[in-house]
Amino acid sequence: MSLLSVLARAALGAPFVYLGYQAVKTPGGRVAMATDFGIPAEYAETAVRANGAAMVLGGLSVATGVLPRLGALAVAGAMVPTTLAGHSFWKDTDPKARGANLTQFLKNLGLVGGLLAVAATPHRDAVVVNED
């Protein structure tokens, strides 16, 4: 595996590890967003923490190269409700809020694209056997 590939995976996984951990540790305002998104209030905090945990585990998987395709798919799946609930720019009436949420929505879309690229990368054996 090339150094560039290792660095790319680490860079892609790191934000999910950090931000997922923050969601697990301190769900805060994310709970209200989850409720507004349609998660019943009694389950909203658990949903936020579970989503954060999926991001931590998936981000670690991508960053370390241990089952990176599975980890990338898990994080991409976790990003869908996160992005729709947290950055629904189409609902904003204030132009500044709309612009900020659109920027974050597009950033998340780009990250999901990177995750899907990892998921689409064929598995390569870490050990090469000399068949002489």
38 DSSP 8-state letter: T
Estimate to the nearest angstrom the gap between the alpha carbon of 86 and the chain centroid: 13
The average pLDDT across 95-121 equals: 96
- CB environment 104-116: b (16+ within 10 A), e (fewer): ebeebeebbebbe
The share of the chain scoring above pLDDT 90, in percent, equals 87
Binning pLDDT at 50, 70 and 90, where does residue 129 land? very low
Comparing CA positions, the residue from 109, 20, 23, 104 lying closest to residue 62 is: 20
Over the stretch 47-106, which tens digit does the pLDDT of each residue have?
Answer: 999 999 999 999 999 999 999 999 999 999 999 999 999 999 999 999 999 999 999 999
Q: What angle do CA 113, 39, 106 make, to 5 degrees?
A: 25
Over the stretch 59-69, which tens digit does the pLDDT of each residue have?
Answer: 999 999 999 99
Position 2 scores a pLDDT of 85
pLDDT at 28 over 50: yes
Radius of gyration of the chain (CA): 17
Comparing CA positions, the residue from 86, 84, 77 lying closest to residue 32 is: 86
Whole-angstrom Cα distance, residue 85 to residue 33? Answer: 6
Estimate to the nearest angstrom the gap between the alpha carbon of 39 and the chain centroid: 19
